[in-house]
A and B are shown apart, each in its own frame.
Chain A
Amino acid sequence: RKEVEQDPGPFNVPEGATVAFNCTYSNSASQSFFWYRQDCRKEPKLLMSVYSSGNEDGRFTAQLNRASQYISLLIRDSKLSDSATYLCVVNMGSSGSARQLTFGSGTQLTVLP
């Protein structure tokens, strides 16, 4: 079983739609959680961290359910510029730790005009 599992998609949605991505992780000792965004043929970039209380950044909302070992990302009012691959990422260590990130294989989103 993969340590971090995501639905690979692709998700094709019209502009303005709301879309949700889910991710599960296998290691209950995981400490920190993130969503990264990767544009086609580019490097991954941090989109947002995911906190137990849930957090929101503009049109993006991230949720964490430790009991179910489940992470989600909700994008409201989708824009064409949201088209990318979204990577669910889990870290065993704290912020100052070198502990490596474990990446899901990504969910591809295409927002259609």
Chain B
Amino acid sequence: NAGVTQTPKFRVLKTGQSMTLLCAQDMNHEYMYWYRQDPGMGLRLIHYSVGEGTTAKGEVPDGYNVSRLKKQNFLLGLESAAPSQTSVYFCASKGSRLADSYEQYFGPGTRLTVT
């Protein structure tokens, strides 16, 4: 099992450009999450999904959109990148059953710089 994978690992964008970050998990998890991590801020939730075809806003959703067309994939889109979106982006997934671990499993991260 690959666990949670993220594509790309690094990206540099110019202000106003768009891009999509892809997250894939092979653990058949229902729940998936997108976080951003900035120095001194901890991880903050951008959007999450409780199942295929459903998404919900997290703590810092502005400037981002997401889609969950397939259970194993969760896409994060930036329509018009801004320097404030320079960050490390982590995707995570979690099982939905009570018997599942509390643990959220994280991908390796995407380092995005917007100039």
Count of CB-CB pairs between chains A and B under 8 Å: 59
Least Cβ distance of A55 to chain B in Å? Answer: 13
Q: Which one, B41, B96, B104, B109, contacts A101 given CB within 8 A?
A: B104
Q: Is the interface of B mostly helix, strand, loop or mixed?
A: loop
Given known contacts A95-B101, A100-B58, A43 and B48 CB-to-CB distance under 8 angstroms: no
- List 26 A-B residue pairs with CB atoms under 8 Å apart, sorted by A's residue number: A4-B42, A8-B40, A41-B109, A42-B108, A43-B108, A45-B106, A46-B103, A46-B104, A87-B43, A91-B102, A95-B100, A95-B102, A96-B95, A96-B98, A96-B100, A98-B31, A98-B48, A98-B94, A100-B33, A100-B58, A100-B59, A101-B45, A101-B104, A103-B42, A104-B42, A105-B41
Mask of B87-115 contacts with A, CB within 8 angstroms, 1/0:
00010001111111111101111000000
Question: Could you list which residues of chain A lie within 8 angstroms of chain B, going by C-beta atoms?
Answer: 4, 8, 32, 34, 41-46, 49, 87, 91, 94-96, 98, 100-101, 103-106
In the complex, the answer to whether B100 meets A87 with C-beta atoms within 8 Å is no
Mask of B19-36 contacts with A, CB within 8 angstroms, 1/0:
000000000001101000
